[in-house]
A and B are shown apart, each in its own frame.
Chain A
């Protein structure tokens, strides 16, 4: 089983709908991240969290919200999806204590907003 699991892997929705992308990890890492990948733009950080009580905005947080329900779970919500949020979304984890800075990514959630 994957260490970082994202659901759903693919989702097509309509403008204005609320969407939640979920991420769970079995690596025991304290840090979790949501990134967005667009062609020609690389990976951009949306939100990150150090632990259950900690939420921090990244480079492109507008239009998104997150929830860290437990150490192992970090969900990303689009309250009212719009077409320019069509992208590939990645959840990632890293280890604070003794960590090297390496990010461990899930396999991605492809979101299409019509």
Chain B
């Protein structure tokens, strides 16, 4: 089955700096790569996703890039703000398949 690895496990940045979280996946059949943000005491919430027919997707301050050949994808957050502090999870699956595999999570802290 799919195996997703995520790095780093913790990341601390200064407000206004950029943050990058990286994930690798093992199953070349995977074609859907979402990113979820989990705030303290809440369930994860989708913030951005990408399908394998594109290499990059952007939504305001967040972007995701995908390298299918190397089987890795990354989340980029620019101009970080304290409210970006949370745990971020990457995931991989075959689109609309039920067996989505998650990375171990990255705890991002943005220092004011």
Binding site for B on A (CB under 8 A): 4, 31, 33, 40-45, 48, 50, 56, 58-59, 90, 92, 96, 99-103, 105-108
Contacts and interface: CB of A to CB of B under 8 A. Distances in A.
Contacts, number: 60
Contact of B43 (A4, A59, A100): A4
Contacts of A56: 98
29 contacts: A4-B43, A31-B98, A40-B9, A40-B104, A41-B104, A42-B4, A42-B89, A42-B102, A42-B103, A42-B104, A45-B99, A45-B100, A48-B98, A56-B98, A59-B1, A92-B43, A96-B96, A99-B96, A100-B49, A101-B93, A101-B100, A103-B34, A103-B100, A105-B43, A105-B44, A107-B41, A107-B42, A108-B41, A108-B43
A49 to B, nearest CB: 9
Interface residues of B, number: 27
Secondary structure of the B contact surface, majority rule: loop
A39 to B, nearest CB: 8
